[in-house]
Chain A
């Protein structure tokens, strides 16, 4: 269980802003942090990591990381942190990047095995692709067997297919190491796939907090539409099926019958359209 009650004054894009967060997070949960840029997501992660000062309290399983008197330095928190820009050590090979954290070759090799990176263990970071670099960064973060894994938009610099692959690996590691994970993300399909709780920040405050579906779903009006999207999930509800589709930056539900559900598989690109309503054309005032 992680108890967070922190306050910090920030200089945001719109002048001064108070970051004020009160949260308790279940152990081993996967929390997605979302919200516009400048809303305080990254700062929250950095405060949790001990990289930035704040007032208040952070307690993790009876271990006090921050209170009025003390702030545990990042060295003693035993966390994992994955940066958006990887932050690998260019002077060390892939394997040495991992061993730098903890000299445990067996763990390092098994992590590289899990992320299909073991063949590249002797390479230096410069010779790796973005996706490969982020895998190394992810493995490095797990070398501490962290109780808390913090990820700051870890996949936003990668192309969609690499993202999907890495999302799967993140989830595997999260479960394997039984960590509590906090991830900053803007991608609804990523949030839906990975998290079991979504927290949306705005101007330093929590404005939404719930499961991915309730936070991300937006009902459409009665417009006729035809959108392309990615099929994220098919859920059976009594006798019908509900397809969850990610379209643009949104997630929608489509009711299916059994025969339709059979022909679709999760992860495929689908088009969602309706013919039930006649299109309405209105001139837009210019």
Chain B
């Protein structure tokens, strides 16, 4: 058992967590503003924007992967432009994975944040406006500090979901060891070559980590609820 463990390559895990960390950080920055904008909007175009944001939940990962490849490969105008002027290749490398993951995991960041913002009492935000504070100050000083459980949920679920992504990563990244071969992709390959031992160990680690992460979220949210007693 220990000998098998010693043989285990941990790079795919590190890669998965690096990808998830960077994706979560980028999506958090974008998601906070997008979710805030959506929650405060009364525009008739809101449902359209909401549908677009939610699309990755419904679409097969292969569809997202296909479009990302199609748009970003160096055969496309955008891919060619970026490669020519910045020297950056956007597919079949880590950069491509990050871009694709940002699309894939977007709803998991935006939706919890948006419902958190929407559950805030309207009066509380209005009290901040009346106090002379702009929408931006209200977002950071009043809205965000009062949706901590939603914040936690959004960050952790986005992270966990990115760790668990498979189809998009395989399509956009290929399976380049040390670059785009994440834990999920490794397991797929191990099963293909019938190395069930390694597949068991990798899968077991994934189950354990995922369970611990979710457990932490639920414990945190329970404590927050006790502390704030809900926002009233």
Residues of A within 8 A of B (CB): 49, 51, 73-81, 83, 85, 87-91, 100-101, 126, 140, 143-144
User: Roughly how many angstroms separate A85 CA and B133 CA in the complex, as a whole number?
Assistant: 20
Closest CB in chain A relative to B134 CB, distance in Å: 7
Is the CB–CB distance between A87 and B127 below 8 Å?
A: yes
Give the most central of A51, A80, A91, A126: most B CB within 10 Å.
A91
Is the CB–CB distance between B126 and A81 below 8 Å?
A: yes
Is the CB–CB distance between A90 and B132 below 8 Å?
A: no
Residues of B within 8 A of A (CB): 121, 123-124, 126-134, 141-142, 145-146, 228-229, 231-232
User: Roughly how many angstroms separate A73 CA and B142 CA in the complex, as a whole number?
Assistant: 19
Closest CB in chain B relative to A245 CB, distance in Å: 35
Other-chain residue from B129, B132, B142, B229 in contact with A89 (beta carbon distance below 8 A): B142
Other-chain residue from A51, A88, A126 in contact with B126 (beta carbon distance below 8 A): A51
Is the CB–CB distance between A101 and B124 below 8 Å?
A: no
Is the CB–CB distance between B127 and A81 below 8 Å?
A: yes
Is the CB–CB distance between A74 and B121 below 8 Å?
A: no
Is the CB–CB distance between A78 and B142 below 8 Å?
A: no
User: Roughly how many angstroms separate A83 CA and B124 CA in the complex, as a whole number?
Assistant: 9
Given contacts A81-B127, A85-B121, 9 further A-B contacts (CB under 8 A): A49-B126, A51-B129, A51-B130, A75-B132, A75-B134, A85-B123, A101-B131, A126-B229, A140-B127
8 cross-chain pairs, A with B, having the tightest CB-CB distances, nearest first: A87-B123, A91-B145, A101-B131, A87-B127, A74-B129, A83-B123, A81-B130, A87-B124
User: Roughly how many angstroms separate A101 CA and B127 CA in the complex, as a whole number?
Assistant: 9
- Nearest opposing residue in chain B for A77, CB measure: B130
**CB pairs A–B below 8 angstroms (9 shown):** A81-B126, A81-B127, A83-B123, A83-B127, A89-B128, A89-B146, A126-B229, A140-B127, A144-B132
Closest CB in chain B relative to A58 CB, distance in Å: 15
Question: Which chain B residues lie closer than 8 Å to A78 at the CB level?
Answer: 132
- Nearest opposing residue in chain A for B127, CB measure: A87
User: Roughly how many angstroms separate A90 CA and B131 CA in the complex, as a whole number?
Assistant: 16
Question: Which chain B residues lie closer than 8 Å to A101 at the CB level?
Answer: 131-132
Closest CB in chain A relative to B15 CB, distance in Å: 37
Question: Which chain B residues lie closer than 8 Å to A89 at the CB level?
Answer: 124, 127-128, 142, 146
User: Roughly how many angstroms separate A77 CA and B130 CA in the complex, as a whole number?
Assistant: 8
Question: Which chain B residues lie closer than 8 Å to A144 at the CB level?
Answer: 131-132
Known: A83-B123, A85-B121, A100-B141. A90 touches B231 (CB 8 A): yes
Other-chain residue from B121, B133, B141, B232 in contact with A75 (beta carbon distance below 8 A): B133
Known: A74-B130, A75-B129, A90-B146. A126 touches B228 (CB 8 A): yes
User: Roughly how many angstroms separate A249 CA and B228 CA in the complex, as a whole number?
Assistant: 38
- Nearest opposing residue in chain A for B141, CB measure: A100
- Nearest opposing residue in chain B for A49, CB measure: B130
Question: Which chain A residues lie closer than 8 Å to B133 at the CB level?
Answer: 75, 100
Is the CB–CB distance between B126 and A90 below 8 Å?
A: no
User: Roughly how many angstroms separate A190 CA and B92 CA in the complex, as a whole number?
Assistant: 73
Question: Which chain A residues lie closer than 8 Å to B124 at the CB level?
Answer: 87-89
Known: A100-B141, A126-B228, A126-B229. A87 touches B132 (CB 8 A): no
